[in-house]
Amino acid sequence: MSEFRIMEIKQSIFADNDKDAECLRQELKEKKTFLLNLMSSPGAGKTTVLTRTIEALKDEMRIGVMEADIDSDVDAHTIAKTGAKVIQLHTGGMCHLDADMTRQGIKGLDIEEMDLAILENVGNLVCPAEFDTGASKNAMILSVPEGDDKPLKYPLMFQVCDVLLINKIDVIEYFDFDLEACKERAKKLNPELKIIPISAKTGEGIEEWAHWLRQEVKTWKEEGE
Ligand SMILES: Nc1nc2c(ncn2[C@@H]2O[C@H](COP(=O)(O)OP(=O)(O)O)[C@@H](O)[C@H]2O)c(=O)[nH]1
Ligand SMILES: [Mg+2]
């Protein structure tokens, strides 16, 4: 028997996505499950950061992961090794998840048993930003090799996120990446944005990130009382 389920999910073209997302968010609050939507371009480090995040928090909360991908199950295998419950969602070619697709995933994950559910969205800086998944909070990863100009090129992604993780900070000396300029560009788009430089490779910044997430999960549960 396989170590995780694979579900084929279809986009619901008729649903009013924003309304559906708001309903899902409310349901999750009542169930006291925090849903994090994690977005980035392919290769920025979502799966590696998730592995680190699970290591940091698994002794204090029950964590489930939904790995969304067009067709593969590579990332679900990686996450399954951490011991966290994981399901693989296949979007059948779609470059993002909407609220109805997320709801289908949540049903497969047995959300009642989770304090923290994490959705690794499809790798893309454009489409996922346009669809509210119903998540409690949105996080994005920008990695150093992608360049400090990405807030200028993909503003919506930076606007819809609550937290920006600037990953692969361990290799910054090899790239012309101006950390301060990047932060300034992101803050101009979204003054509330929390920005944490991290390295999923060395562990730098992971405790600050885990602390942010821990506080958000706690607040979410209190609001659901
Ligand atoms: N140097 C360095 N490499 C990293 C870091 N985080 C991830 N990687 C590497 O970047 C590649 C893509 O990472 P992955 O987590 O699969 O990215 P995803 O496609 O966004 O899920 C892998 O080879 C990782 O080992 C980091 O902080 N520093
Ligand atoms: Mg991945």
Instruction: Give residue 224 CA to ligand 2 midpoint distance, Å.
Output: 30
Instruction: Give residue 172 CA to ligand 2 midpoint distance, Å.
Output: 21
pLDDT band at 71 (very low <50, low <70, confident <90, very high): confident
Q: In what order do the strands lie in the sheet with 194-197?
A: 6-8, 85-90, 63-69, 116-120, 34-40, 137-143, 163-167, 194-197
The pLDDT of residue 145: 98
Instruction: Give residue 223 CA to ligand 2 midpoint distance, Å.
Output: 31
Q: What is the mean pLDDT of residues 104-124?
A: 91
Q: Which of 58, 39, 29 is nearest to 119 (CA)?
A: 39
Q: Is ligand 1 within 6 A of the CB of residue 168?
A: yes
Q: What is the mean pLDDT of residues 80-107?
A: 91
The share of the chain scoring above pLDDT 70, in percent, equals 96
Per-residue pLDDT reduced to its tens digit, 186-195: 999 999 999 9
What's the rounded Cα separation, in Å, for the pair 86 and 194? Answer: 27
Q: Is ligand 1 within 6 A of the CB of residue 171?
A: yes
Q: What is the mean pLDDT of residues 68-84?
A: 91
Per the CB < 8 A criterion, the answer to whether 166 and 195 are in contact is yes
The pLDDT of residue 14: 46
Asked whether the whole model's pTM tops 0.85, one would answer yes
